[in-house]
Amino acid sequence: MKALVQNFTTQLKEAKAIADKAIISSSQNIQNIVITGLGGSGIGGTILSELISDACTVPIIINKDYFLPAFVNENTLVIVSSYSGNTEETLSAMQQAISKKAQIACITSGGKVLELAKQHQFDFIEIPGGNPPRSCIGYSLVQLIKVIVAKGFADKKLFSDIENSIALLDKEHIAIKTEAQKIAGKLVNKICVIYSLGTCEGAVVRFRQQINENSKMLCWHHVFPEMNHNELVGWTTKNDNLVVVTFHTSFDYARTKKRYDVCKPIFEKYSNGVVDINAKGESKLEQFLYLINIGDWISCYVAELRGIDPVEVNVIDHLKGELAKF
Q: How many CB atoms lie within 10 A of CB 246?
A: 20
pLDDT of residue 10: 95
Q: Are strands 32-36 and 123-126 parallel, antiparallel or unpaired?
A: unpaired
- State percent of the chain over pLDDT 70: 100
Per residue in 121-160, pLDDT (tens digit) is: 999 999 998 888 788 899 999 999 999 999 999 999 998 8
**Binning pLDDT at 50, 70 and 90, where does residue 325 land?**
confident
The Cα 252–Cα 198 span in angstroms is: 7
pLDDT above 90 (res 316): no
In terms of Cα–Cα distance, which of 293, 248, 301, 257 is closest to 275?
248
Task: Assess contact for 277 and 247: CB atoms under 8 A.
Answer: yes
> Which is catalytic among the residues 21, 229, 322, 325?
229
What pTM does this model have? Answer: 0.94
pLDDT above 90 (res 83): yes
> How would CATH label the architecture of 175-306?
3-Layer(aba) Sandwich (3.40)
> Which is catalytic among the residues 50, 89, 213, 286?
213
pLDDT of residue 28: 85
**Binning pLDDT at 50, 70 and 90, where does residue 243 land?**
very high
pLDDT above 90 (res 40): no
Query: Exposed, middle or buried, 171 (CB in 10 Å: 0-12/13-18/19+)?
Result: exposed
pLDDT of residue 172: 97
pLDDT above 90 (res 63): yes
- Of 52-56, 219-223, 268-272, the least confident: 52-56
pLDDT of residue 2: 81
SS3 content of the chain, % helix, strand, coil (to 5): 55, 15, 30
- State percent of the chain over pLDDT 90: 84
pLDDT of residue 97: 98
pLDDT above 90 (res 237): yes
Q: Which residues contact 152 (CB under 8 A, 6 or more apart)?
A: 26, 27
> Residue 30 is inside which H or E element, if any?
none
Task: Assess contact for 189 and 23: CB atoms under 8 A.
Answer: no
pLDDT above 90 (res 319): no
**Can 280 be counted among the known catalytic residues?**
no
Rounded CA Rg of the chain: 20
pLDDT of residue 72: 97
pLDDT of residue 115: 97
3-state secondary structure of 306: helix
**Can 320 be counted among the known catalytic residues?**
yes
Query: What CATH superfamily classification does 2-163 receive?
Result: Glucose-6-phosphate isomerase like protein; domain 1 (3.40.50.10490)
Q: Which residues contact 85 (CB under 8 A, 6 or more apart)?
A: 108, 109, 110, 111, 112, 113, 114, 115
pLDDT of residue 114: 97
pLDDT of residue 117: 96
> Residue 276 is inside which H or E element, if any?
strand 274-278
> Which is catalytic among the residues 118, 171, 182, 320?
320
Strand ordering across the sheet containing 103-108: 60-63, 32-36, 76-82, 103-108, 123-126
pLDDT of residue 277: 98
Query: Exposed, middle or buried, 326 (CB in 10 Å: 0-12/13-18/19+)?
Result: exposed
Domain extent listing, the chain = 2-163, 175-306
pLDDT above 90 (res 55): no
Number of H helices, E strands in the chain: 12, 9
pLDDT of residue 134: 81
Per residue in 258-298, pLDDT (tens digit) is: 999 999 999 999 999 999 999 999 999 999 999 999 999 99
Query: Exposed, middle or buried, 32 (CB in 10 Å: 0-12/13-18/19+)?
Result: middle
pLDDT of residue 321: 84
- Of 49-63, 165-179, 233-247, 308-322, the least confident: 308-322
Task: Report the mean per-residue pLDDT for the chain.
Answer: 94
> Residue 8 is inside which H or E element, if any?
helix 8-21
Evaluate whether 2-163 and 175-306 have a shared fold: yes
- Report which residue type is found at 24: I
**Can 213 be counted among the known catalytic residues?**
yes
pLDDT above 90 (res 313): no
Mean pLDDT throughout 97-114? 96
